[in-house]
Structure 1
Amino acid sequence: MKKNIGFLIDMDGVIYRGGELIAGAREFIQMLLREDYPFLFLTNNSQRNCRDVVAKLKRMGIEVEEKHIFTCAIATARYLASQKPGGTAYVIGEGGLLTALHQNGYSIVDDDPDFVVIGEGRTIMLESVDKAINMVLKGAKLIATNLDPYCPSSNDSIRSGCGAFVSMIELATGKKAFSAGKPSPVMMRLAKAELSTRSFNTIMIGDTMETDILGGVQMGFKTVLTLTGSTKMDDLEHYAYGPDHIIRSIHDLLDGESFDKIANGEMALALG
């Protein structure tokens, strides 16, 4: 029988770091599957489609289905389809974003689009950015899959994120992008609907205060911050909001007592 609580789980910094699986992640997901808890992996990476993400997780030893993946590309495409069904978009991004737009009835064009949509990309050319700038100046609406300024990479380094590219277009045009990715209520609400849960029994597990935790707080979800990613304990004093629970890593949730406290909304679980 499906449980009446569900989990939204960030990936990089929670399940893995770079190319390395975080201890306890495989066992935690196996427990959710075994106990029939509904869950989604919630990612602000628009590069890969769901099948690609499933394949990456499988190589790491975590076997899930495409239904368990929800990306900012999917949220963006569904949002656009609700705003203008059958619309057109000029896209700076990769396969995950293109697939999501096509699946939601959008055509990708090179001239006179309804929307300019910006996602992650490792080979973004200045020529494409210039083209996007001129389209926005001519009236196309600017959309970002997310506003993350950087993305974690291997060896504790970072690379430019979607927000960095979007900021160039915003500065050149004087237009602000609308983002459907975390912490936007658009993505959080769509993901919750996939779980068929209520706000009070939806649990957001993430490592980033500005996206995972903020998005969860704004939606009334229970929030769990793990310290294996971008946020450290000393960082919390800089925020006017905070998580309901703090854990060292996803491994802590394998402890039955800790898991039950979070699932049942009991006293906050924090580090001593």
Structure 2
Amino acid sequence: MILVLDVGNTNTVLGVFKEKELLVEWRLSTDAKRTADEYGIQVMQLFHQRNIKVEHIKGVIISSVVPNIMYSLEHMIRKYFDLIPMIVGPGIKTGINVKYDNPKEVGADRIVNAVSAHAIYNRSLILIDFGTATTFCAISKDANYLGGTICPGIKIASEALFERAAKLPRVELIKPDTVICKNTVASMQSGIIYGYIGQVEYIVNKMKSEMINVGEEEPFVVATGGLSNLITKNSSAIDEFHPNLTLEGLRMIYEKNRE
């Protein structure tokens, strides 16, 4: 079995694979102030609840966009699992050819998603990861990472509206039945949700056009990430929702590099 960790700005997602089967998945808050022992105790408790033996974990791989948490996580893996974790970064084989001006600037999670999606779909792709930030990535059929777009996540947009407008309340992220609303809360929900759906659909259409103009087939659009459901079920621009795209990609990268 292997342990995979996807460290995001808001949440850290852990998964345990037995060969290609995802046995269990957990989502923890990302907190750079936690020590290695605090993380270790929490992970040990999770393993105990699911009756997974630590000694059965033969490898660990980590993808992170939060550099200042890595010391604690790496130390935790060494101390509690007696393993040296594999870190997604320069020198790791992925099979993806990054066409960014500076390939080192591309977030590890975006490359992991590209690895997974290319292996699963084997075609031109637009990948949307709804997290703290929402990322849009263009992947060619030949496994070239062409580039992408980064937007504020829907929670960031919602919190900014509450924090910067004195008379507007914090609202639950649910979709009203209509765009024309008759109270403040519903009006905010309408603007946040429908506005975000519109943003996603516009960006996807522009990316499709640009990819087709450089000779790609019409890309298939795949969404993932913790905040995906809210948008994917209300947008015609998204072809498929794949909740475990990043965890699957980590498993694949581990297999490519474990020797």
Fold shared, TM-score > 0.5 on shorter chain = no
TM-score (normalizing by structure 2): 0.36
Could you say which structure has the larger radius of gyration?
Answer: 2
Per residue, is there more strand in 1 or in 2?
A: 2
TM-score (normalizing by structure 1): 0.35
